Structure 1
Amino acid sequence: MEQDNNNFNMVAKTLFGLEEVLAKEIKQLGGKDVKVLNRAVSFKGDKRLMYKANLCLRTAISILKPIHEFITRNEHTLYDQVKAIDWTKWLDLDKTFSIESTVQSEYFNHTKYVALKAKDAIVDQFKEKFGERPSVDREKPYLKLHIHISQQECTILHDSSGYPLFKRGYRTQTNKAPLNEVLAAGLILLSGWDGKTTFIDPMCGSGTIPIEAGLIAGNIPPNIHRKYFGFQLWDDFDENLWEEVIAEAKAGEKEIHCKILASDVSDDTMDMAGTNIEAAGLDEVIRLSKKSFFERDAPPAPGLLIVNPPYGERIVPERIMAFYKKMGDRLKENYSGYDAWIITSNADAVKKIGLRHSKRLTLYNGSLECRFLKYEMYRGTKKSFSKKERRPH
């Protein structure tokens, strides 16, 4: 790891479909030589930017710092190449480490086996040098390593984040199928919401989407509530610089003037959402109410909804089809002048909404492939709207 603030390479990992959004975020933070990869974005910056990236990026899962690259086609060269690195530069016997691996290669079939061979190489180097070995700690290691193999190209990276960055620190309670915070922020940024018009989540669950909306509207760093980042354990951690980064980020916060409305139908869900909203410091910003989507009246347009409805994994097909039809009817009846975005993995149920989407994006909610669909709820009919738009001024 560099002992100064000179620029170095970094890689920010993200979810499929959020790469372009993350690249834009990194450029806005001051990242240089930004390149979009598969579920990741590479960029250059200094230690200050690494700290800022961890604190401020909304769609990054982790910020990684490459330390070594080599070619390998089998487990033997992998072991030898990893063992050839002088790990005493970063690791002592009294410090812990962990290794995760990502493999996209015809030469390696087992991701966990790659991590195991790399761990063996590091441990064996210490045994040969000192007769002892450092311990593995998967929860809070001093040194968290990632090994990425793409065909025959292997990169070893330090994880500066520690815990994944979707662990914001505000969500103390969740329902059975919580939406990842990074995905929630990504949905809002993909929607193009300006942070000024009314924002509604009428099926808010444990409150993740409205909380991320509040953080965006107030330009509040998404990870301001986290207690720990991996780089804080590193020998070159600069506490004064870190405090400067936090102070600078807080100085950029702004007052929230838009309405952010969140609702759901269950008492338990409302309790969870309320607890999380309060933990995020947004209890005076987000208006939470126990109300069905089919009972809620929309405030005057313009506005934006993001809806994460049930996908139907635990609901009989007839009921989920009826639910989606009812949802489409409610949008037509009550949300004229709004943009509505719906994320779902149920392609059949979507057809029952009865509206034509104007945009369709592919994302993943956990292992589920989802469609993120935009519906523009025109005042009157789309045909009359189009004529009005074409009228000369």
Structure 2
Amino acid sequence: MSEHFFAPCPRGLESALAAELTRLGAAQVSPVESGVGFQGDWPLCYRVNLWSRLASRVLWRIAHGPYQSEEEVYRLARAVDWPSYFDVDQTFAVSTVARRCPLKSLNFVTLRIKDAVCDRFRDTRGRRPNVDTARPAVRLAAFLDATHLTLYLDTSGEALFKRGWRKSKGEAPLKENLAAGILHLTGWQPGVPLLDPMCGSGTFLMEAALMALHIAPGLGRGFAFERLENFDAQAWARLRREAEAECRPRQQLPLWGSDSDAAAVRHARRNFAEAGLAPVVALERKDVLELEAPAAEGVLVTNPPYGERIGDLATLAEFYPRLGSVLKQRFAGWRVFIFTADTRLPGLMRLKPARRTPLYNGPLACRLYEFPMVAGSHRRQR
């Protein structure tokens, strides 16, 4: 039986996620801002949770209807047969998101949905489940637009970008699904040399390694759908066995990472070691301005730690021109991609981007700049 699902994702990756869901077998794929709706059966839901590199979660739609007041929200939520979805001994939590919602308090709306769930359990089971906002067994998501309420059950649990491999974060790590989406936008493919010269804890390199070795990003973690009443353990076990059989042998790959911060390199090495992938990537402590290209051509992708480890705005204004010179002099033949919120970067580097793709790192508006490197200056080339 086909069910309705919604997969949120970082803003700017909706089209890429829609294509990924289609490859995984989803039907009626419909991208909207910050996510993609789709339809499919439960094995598809399991497969998306296991294999999606771009989704943040997979939400299962269980109710949808019009509302005009908090009491109508309560009645719609209470009409759902919650005990058929999860057990009274499991804790739950409700999160609410709204756009153009006419109601005054989202906190009150959330409270009324919690009341509706508990009242339905009390009517059916004689007692109510407990609420745990920190680590609930079951997460409910409510979305309100100007006229309608949609209720979802979260089939993922922890966000899907939490792959389970990151043991050492360092400063302000990039979310894994955003890093995977950026790699997709660069056009990088396994086997193509990849370098991150300001790698931090190694997120770009880890996502590339998982892709190259065909390791499902969710293979090392659990999911909330395993705690739902309709969980099909046999179907899930079969999907996991198939994913494990598709993993390729761990071997050295053309992946290079470096960072001037010794602590960042330690974080990256620990993460690869914990994931059992230490042999696949070359990591070193080195200043980006001292680097040489490790291959004749390839893809360089990085998220400069603007204002974090490099320094203040004045320091960056001095750093960026030097970085531009290094790229022009030493990386001819490479395609360079820089993900940043600092819109001064192309001008200060004295490079004209071939493409600038708007993306969001959480609420922060960013750009992915593409610079094809050629020998000498772009002006002389033209």
Measured against the shorter chain, the TM-score band is over 0.9
Aligned to 2:241: 247
- What's 1:125 paired with? 120
- Counterpart of 1:238 (choices 232, 238, 241) is 232
CA distance in 2, matches of 1:307, 1:92: 45
Counterpart of 1:327 in structure 2 is 323
**Which string of whole-angstrom CA distances, capped at 9 and with x for unpartnered residues, describes residues 124-144 of structure 1?**
333455553210123443322
Amino acid at match of 1:81: L
Instruction: Name the SS for the 1:278 alignment partner.
Output: helix
- The structural deviation recorded for 1:250 is 2.7
User: Structure 1 residue 95 and structure 2 residue 86: aligned?
Assistant: no
Residue 367 (structure 2) pairs with residue 344 (structure 1): no
Q: Distance in 1 between matches of 2:276 and 2:378?
A: 40
Q: Which residue of 2 aligns with 1:3?
A: none
Any idea what the Cα deviations from partners look like across 1:27-84, whole Å, max 9, x if unmatched?
Answer: 1111111111111111122111111100100001101110110111221211122122
Match of 2:29 among 17, 27, 34: 34
Distance 1:77 1:295 in 2: 64
1:9 paired residue number: 4
Distance across 2 between alignment mates of 1:108 and 1:257: 56
Quick one: which amino acid aligns to residue 375 of structure 1?
F
Query: Quick one: which of 52, 56, 63 aligns to 1:57?
Result: 52
Secondary structure of the structure 1 residue equivalent to 2:290 = coil
- Measure, in 2, the Cα distance between the counterparts of 1:250 and 1:262: 27
SS of corresponding position for 1:62: coil
Who is 1:180 aligned against? Answer: 175
Matches within 5 A, 1:365-376: 365-376=361-372
1:86 aligned residue (66, 81, 91): 81
Q: What's the counterpart of residue 288 of structure 2?
A: 293
- Call closer, same or farther: CA 1:73–1:350 in 2, change over 3 Å: farther
Q: Is the 8 A contact 2:329 2:375 kept in 1?
A: no
CA distance in 2, matches of 1:113, 1:353: 50
Give the superposition deviation at 1:109: 4.9
What amino acid is the match of 2:226?
A: Q
**Unmatched 5+ residue regions in structure 2?**
none
Letter in 2 for 1:320: L
CA contact (8 A) 1:68 1:156 kept: yes
Counterpart position of 2:188: 193
2:355 aligned partner, one-letter code: K
Correspondence 1:150-189 to 2 at 5 A: 150-189=145-184
Q: 1:190 to 1:110 in 2, by over 3 A?
A: farther
Matching residue of 1:389:
none
| Matching residue of 1:223 | 218
Report the alpha carbon displacement of residue 362 of structure 1 after superposing the two structures with TM.
Answer: 1.2
Please report how far the alpha carbon of residue 383 of structure 1 lies from its aligned counterpart in structure 2 after TM superposition: 6.8
Distance 1:131 1:355 in 2: 68
Q: What SS class does the counterpart of residue 107 from structure 1 fall into? A: coil
Partner Cα separation in structure 2 for residue 119 and residue 350 of structure 1 = 49
Contact in 1 for aligned 2:83/2:124 (Cα 8 Å): no
The 1:318–1:7 alpha-carbon spacing in structure 2 relative to 1, beyond 3 Å, is same
Call closer, same or farther: CA 1:62–1:53 in 2, change over 3 Å: same
Q: CA RMSD in A?
A: 2.0
Q: 1:353 to 1:384 in 2, by over 3 A?
A: closer
- Letter of the 1:175 partner, please give it: G
Work out whether 1:142 is the aligned partner of 2:134.
no
Paired amino acid for 1:336:
A
Q: What CA distance in whole angstroms lies between the structure 2 residues aligned with 1:79 and 1:97?
A: 17
Matched AA of 1:338: W
User: Kindly, what percent of the aligned residue pairs are identical?
Assistant: 34
Q: TM-score, normalised by structure 1?
A: 0.91
1:165 Cα deviation (Å)?
0.5
Summarize the Cα distance change of 1:34–1:335 in structure 2 as closer, same or farther, 3 Å threshold.
Answer: same
- Is 1:354 matched up with 2:335? no
* Preserved CA contact (<8 Å) 1:142 1:234: no
Q: Structure 1 residue 10: deviation in Å?
A: 1.3
- Give the structure 2 partner of residue 391 of structure 1: none
Structure 1: which amino acid aligns with 2:243? A
336-345 or 375-384, which deviates more: 375-384
The answer on whether the counterparts of 1:196 and 1:257 sit within 8 Å (CA) in structure 2 is no
Query: What is the alpha-carbon distance in structure 2 between the residues aligned to residue 238 and residue 129 of structure 1?
Result: 24
- 1:317 is displaced (CA, Å) by 1.6
Structure 2 CA distance for partners of 1:113 and 1:377, relative to 1, 3 Å: farther
- What secondary structure, in the 3-state scheme, does the structure 2 residue paired with 1:60 have? coil
Distance change >3 Å, CA 277–CA 109, structure 1 → 2: farther
Q: Which residue of 2 aligns with 1:261?
A: 256
